[in-house]
């Protein structure tokens, strides 16, 4: 818990002056999502050629970073990401970004125990409130731990950010070294892709497993958001929310009166989250909303905290699964797409929750390339180099448009048969043959 210290006066400087503090070899932290600095970033980009070996940690970049433009090979400034956005993925493919593996629930602890104090933390925050705090807006996650450890803290003030109520969601003026004025632009919106027919089929299967009073965690992406649409039509009541990411679908369930949080054991009456990204309507919804509570990510994601609520329903996407139930949600071979995020912790937390259920969902197929060659997402073996996000021992429900299976308590042979049953029909015979050839399914099955 933050303790007030004797106040110091932060120096108000220009973005160019702030960027001039960066010297070769430094480690910087930009924060995440809508809390990443923009004015400072442009100023740093203007002098990127003057430094070498600077490394910047960030997460889910929603705007292009100016320091990448004059530095095509990342030799002057290299970005390191805790979780890739589409932009981060493209920078990774170009060699200008590297991934930092973690379960997001451990994020604050990494800074407090394992990461050397960052040289400079630069965070975009709301204007100072009456108590001397610069609110982190919708980007709490690990920022308290970051500002406690950083050698220099710079706040970029932006009055257009939503103000988010919650514990430890701000930096006190006594902790800030420098202030710079932001550009006043509204936070970047994260588009919500339209649900496909496959998304809706999967969402309907999951919605049928949800009961009144369930507590929701909805992951990032179009498919988990489609689940919110199905829940809205399912006639449910008194749902709760304790999630990592606040998304538009959860906002819509709340506005429809389906989310009330009335039956939650932890934070009854409030929807709890650790960051938000979505539409302008979502940012308006979370702004000064007393029925929402933003928390640090260890409070929202660590399994024992997840399990404090009963009937936790965790819904997350995955990219590919093998016949034993290993879920690869972040890479294909050595090409990295996203990150571990909170998936594993919520799968485990939902299992520990009284009456909880964890769902991993995916379309049964994907098109490999522009030629439109269809490939199965249910495979005998994951491609070499592919990262396993959720181990087979943790996986509970798996859902495709062809059905739902529960792998808990099943043998390897039973798992293989279950996974084959929800694969695209065009691949089932081949998967069955391969599974028997490799001994996953013995003759007795």
Query: How is the chain split into domains, by residue range?
Result: 11-181, 197-437
Q: Does 11-181 match 197-437 in CATH topology?
A: yes
Can you tell me the distance from the alpha carbon of 372 to that of 48, in angstroms, rounded to the nearest whole number? Answer: 41
Angle between helices 412-421 and 425-437 (to 10 degrees): 160
Residue 39: phi and psi, rounded to 5, are -65, -45
Q: What residues are labeled active site?
A: 244
11-181 CATH:
3.40.1080.10
Q: How many residues would you count in the chain?
A: 445
Radius of gyration of the chain, Cα coordinates, nearest whole angstrom = 23
Q: What share of the chain is helix, strand, coil (3-state, %, to 5)?
A: 30, 25, 45
Alpha carbon distances (Å) from 321 to 113, 189, 300: 33, 31, 26
Q: How many helical (H) and strand (E) elements, i.e. helices and strands, does the chain have?
A: 14, 27
Considering Cα of 417, then 423, then 424, then 427, what sign does the dihedral take?
negative
**Contact 228/219 with Cβ under 8 angstroms?**
no
pTM above 0.75, yes or no: yes
Residue 233, Cβ neighbours under 10 Å: how many?
12
**Contact 404/397 with Cβ under 8 angstroms?**
yes
CATH 3.10.20.30 fits 197-437, yes or no: no
The token duo for 40 is 């400072």
Considering Cα of 91, then 21, then 100, then 39, what sign does the dihedral take?
negative
pLDDT tens sequence for the chain (445 residues): 434 444 567 999 999 999 999 999 999 999 999 999 999 999 999 999 999 999 999 999 999 999 998 887 889 999 999 999 999 999 999 999 999 999 999 999 999 999 999 999 999 999 999 999 999 999 999 999 999 999 999 999 999 999 999 999 999 999 999 999 999 999 999 988 888 999 999 999 999 999 999 999 998 777 877 899 999 999 999 999 999 999 999 999 999 999 999 999 999 999 999 999 999 999 999 999 999 999 999 999 999 999 999 999 999 999 999 999 999 999 999 999 999 999 999 999 999 999 999 999 999 999 876 677 899 999 999 999 999 999 999 999 999 999 999 999 999 999 999 999 999 999 999 999 999 999 999 988 8
Provide the phi-psi class of 99: left if phi over 0, else alpha when psi is between -120 and 50, else beta. Answer: beta
Provide the phi-psi class of 368: left if phi over 0, else alpha when psi is between -120 and 50, else beta. Answer: alpha
Angle between helices 222-232 and 248-255 (to 10 degrees): 10
Angle between helices 222-232 and 197-207 (to 10 degrees): 60
Residue of 413, 410, 418, 403 lying closest to 442 (CA atoms):
413
């Amino acid at each position: 818990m933050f303790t007030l210290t004797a106040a110091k006066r932060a120096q108000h400087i220009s973005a160019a002056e702030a960027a001039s503090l960066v010297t070769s070899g430094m480690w910087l932290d930009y924060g995440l999502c809508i809390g990443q600095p923009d004015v400072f970033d442009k100023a740093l980009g203007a002098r990127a050629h003057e430094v070498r070996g600077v490394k910047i940690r960030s997460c889910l970049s929603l705007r292009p970073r100016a320091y990448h433009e004059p530095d095509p090979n990342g030799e002057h400034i290299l970005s390191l990401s805790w979780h890739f956005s589409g932009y981060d993925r493209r920078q990774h493919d170009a060699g200008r970004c590297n991934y930092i593996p973690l379960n997001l629930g451990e994020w604050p602890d990494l800074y407090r125990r394992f990461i050397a104090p960052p040289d400079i933390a630069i965070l975009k925050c709301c204007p100072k409130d009456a108590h001397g705090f610069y609110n982190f807006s919708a980007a709490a996650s690990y920022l308290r731990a970051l500002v406690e450890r950083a050698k220099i803290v710079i706040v970029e003030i932006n009055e257009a950010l939503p103000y988010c109520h919650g514990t430890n969601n701000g930096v006190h003026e006594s902790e800030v070294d420098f202030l710079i004025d932001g550009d006043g632009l509204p936070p970047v919106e994260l588009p919500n892709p339209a649900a496909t027919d496959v998304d809706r089929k999967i969402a309907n299967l999951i919605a049928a497993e949800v009961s009144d009073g369930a507590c929701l965690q909805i992951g990032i992406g179009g498919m988990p958001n489609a689940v919110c649409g199905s829940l809205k039509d399912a006639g449910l009541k008194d749902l709760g929310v304790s999630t990592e990411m606040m998304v538009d679908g959860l906002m819509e369930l709340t506005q429809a009166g389906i989310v009330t949080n009335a039956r939650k054991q932890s934070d009854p009456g409030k929807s709890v989250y650790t960051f938000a990204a979505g539409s302008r309507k979502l940012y308006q919804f979370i702004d000064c909303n007393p029925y929402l509570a933003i928390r640090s990510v260890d409070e929202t994601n660590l399994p024992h905290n997840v399990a404090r609520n009963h009937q936790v329903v965790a819904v997350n996407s995955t990219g590919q699964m093998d016949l034993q139930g290993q879920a690869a949600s972040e890479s294909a071979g050595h090409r990295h797409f996203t990150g571990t995020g909170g998936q594993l912790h919520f799968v485990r937390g939902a299992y520990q929750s009284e009456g909880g259920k964890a769902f991993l969902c995916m379309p049964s197929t994907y098109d490999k390339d522009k030629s439109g060659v269809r490939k199965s997402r249910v495979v005998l073996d994951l491609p070499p180099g592919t990262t396993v996000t959720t181990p087979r021992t943790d996986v509970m429900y798996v859902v495709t448009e062809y059905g739902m299976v529960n792998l808990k308590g099943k043998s390897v042979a039973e798992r293989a048969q279950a996974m084959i049953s929800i694969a695209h029909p065009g691949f089932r015979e081949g998967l069955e043959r391969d599974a028997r050839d490799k001994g996953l399914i013995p003759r007795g099955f």
